[in-house]
Every structure is written in structure tokens, then in C-alpha cells.
Amino acid sequence: MEALKPMRTRSLQISKRSRRAGALAAVIVGGALIAPSQAAPDADPPALLQPMAGTADARYPGEDEVPPPGSISQTMGTVTNSQGTVVNNSRMYITNGQDNPIWGGLYFGEYNRPVEDPEMYLPSCIPSTDVPCVPNPFYQPECATSDPATQLKGQYQRHRMYPMGPLEGGGADVGLLTQMKVNMVAFGSVPATATLTMRSPRISGEVQPFYIHLWDSQVTRSTAPRRASSCDPDFRAPGAQVSSLVEGQIEVTLSDLVVDGVPVDVGPACRTEHAAEIDLWAEFDEGYYTAAGGGPLGAYDGLHPGSIIPLDHPLYFGAFDGRDIPASAGIDVPAFTGCGTGGDDLSPLVTAMASGPNNPVRAVQGPLISLNEIPWDDFTRCTQGGGQLQCPLPGPETPEMPPLPWEEN
């Protein structure tokens, strides 16, 4: 059976300004364009090409719906993603795999300097830049207080990914994650099929991207120990000492419902009441993850703790500053509304099949195919990186099924 795919977004607006070419050569970025199992947070990014100037007239569908090259990030390119979601209500595992991946346009190294009007990216918490360290929001020594001088600190990076459904002939349906036929169960045991379409929501007409956050206390321990020091010099964040979060929202619509072989007209507007929040955490027990290198991600109970201090730092400018981040959990799929025609309200039926709390997810992001542009003419285009040809297809293999909530006890 094939796939319900989650990922996410919250909105920021940054002015579109051309990047100075000289800044590119000087930038050092965490995250490498190599295989996920080899990726390291302090490795160099792929070689960068001269950014193309943004054009007022889009040549391909979708081109005018995302930021132009050189306007918000250090580099950009394409990624493919696989995923598997367990639908608790029907005990099904539905997937996107190598043959039908979820595509994204990844803007790597979102500009962060100057904070008031960012026009370049500089890595934080290293001796060669003035970008300050960021307190780790998830792990702190017992002696830490509200005084930042006592807190464990490290690097912080943010990147954006816009879901894109490539179109024949060029261009993309920006915001589309997946559209696929899935098998379901109605009334507890009656077989059903339907088409699920998942999209990122729009706010004021603009597609909302997924945001990728990375907090790294490991790099700064070796590169800037005094800047990253806390009240307990021996304290270490557990595991890889790196936390990566991919977050956004999806809207789900359902069509072409067939129950026990009989078509059921749910109308053109059968959809979730509101967007579902998607929070995918790096699964470092399954392999290393960086935004450029890709790797395993998950959304299920127990994978990662929530924040113990709020996000309070200049580098969290915009909608992220002041937030608290909840602990990892499965995806809550909202109830459906608008289902049915001719006065028949079929929303409760669809809700019983597809909605519900804590649906666990696993995903695998492929490496960034860095072109310093979105290849609107051909999304399958390859590039040279790390001394080898890298291509977006085939996509990552379908991940193993995530832990099941009903088997935890």
C-alpha cells in the first residue's frame, strides 16, 4: 500500500536580495553533500556555482512561487524523500518509496546576517565569525540557570524546503507533497480505496515551506570550546550531540472514494479541518542526518525530548523566537470536513478511516543535488559532488516501519 507523507512549515518573510559572490567563498557551512552515513556536521558543503539572477517573468510553472536563486540562502537544489506512515485507525502502513518520492527544493544555509535584514549566511559559534553561540534548547547541565553564561551552547543552522511535484514538460506544482491511491478500511472491516492529496498550506497566497533546524554542540566543543562552555565543562549532550528537526504543515484532501467496490461521491472539497503539524526528528541511531547529506527522520513517541528552555536568541528571528518545542510524537491527522454531496454528510465516515492522533512516521531524505538553482526544465538533472555524479533518482529506499503505539507496552 502506498503512502501518506508528512513534513512541515511555519512562515518567515525575508527580503529578496542578491547575494554578494565574494561572500560565498568565505562561508564555512555545517553539513556535507555526501552519503548520509558519512555526513559530518563540520564538513564543507559542495562546490558552489555563481548564482543566477532572479527574473521577473517565470519561464516554467511554479518558478515565481519560490524565492529566486541567491535571495535567501547560501545555495539551493533538489532533494527526494521517502516515507512510511502507520494509520492507527486502520492498522495500515502506507509509503512513498524510490519510484514515487516526495520532491523538494532545498534552500541550504538560510541567510542570518545581519539579523535585521539578512543577506548572507555565516556559521555561528566559531572563532572566525561574529555570529554568537546559541544555547542548546534540549540539553543543559544541572547547574545551568537562566544566565546564558551557565548554559551549554553550540551552532544553530536553519534551511528551507519547498515541496514540489514535477510536471511533464517542466516546472512544478509547488506545495504538492504527494497524490496517490491508497487502500483503507471503512466501518472497521470493509475494504475501501481513495486518492489522498497532501499539500503545504498557503498563507496570503504564498506556499509555506518546511523548515530544517540543526543544533550542534559537538562542533563547537572542538572549534570554539571557550565560546561554547557551560557551568559544567564536562557536560555533553547525549548521543551525537546534534539535534535536527524538520517541521511544517500539510493539508490533506480525499477524493475518488470507493467502498466495497461502490463509488462514493465525497465532492470536491473533502479535506482536513485544518493543517496537520509535522515534526520529524533526526534518527541518529539509524544513521547520521544533515540538511545537505540527508538521512533518516522520524515522528514517534520517545525519539527526542522537547525543549527545556524557550527559543530566545537573535538567530531565531521571525516566527521562531520565543517558541517552545514539544517532544517527538506521531502525527495527529485532523478530522475531515466538507465530504459529501446532495446533503449527505460523509465527513464522519472519512474521519473514521483516515483521522486520529499519534500516527507514527519514518522518512528518509536524500542528499542535496546542489545546482544553485531549481532545475525547472528537468528535475531529474544530476550534478557532480564529492568527486562523484549525484542524481535525485532513484529516491531513498522506503524506511522500516516506525515503532507502533499499540505495541509499546
pLDDT of residue 29: 28
Mean pLDDT of all residues in 322-330: 94
| Average pLDDT of the segment spanning 27-51 | 31
Does the pLDDT of residue 24 top 70, yes or no? no
- Which is higher by pLDDT, 249 or 17? 249
Distance of CA 195 to the CA centre of its chain: 23
What are the residue boundaries of the structural domains of the chain, listed by start?
21-407
pTM: 0.83
Q: What is the pLDDT of residue 221?
A: 54
Please determine, for residue 236, whether its predicted confidence score (pLDDT) is greater than 70. yes
- Tell me the percentage of the chain whose pLDDT exceeds 90: 58
Task: Give how far the C-alpha of residue 237 lies from the chain's centroid of Cα atoms, to the nearest Å.
Answer: 23
User: 52 versus 227: which is more confidently predicted?
Assistant: 227
First to last CA, the chain: 27
The pLDDT assigned to 371 comes to 82
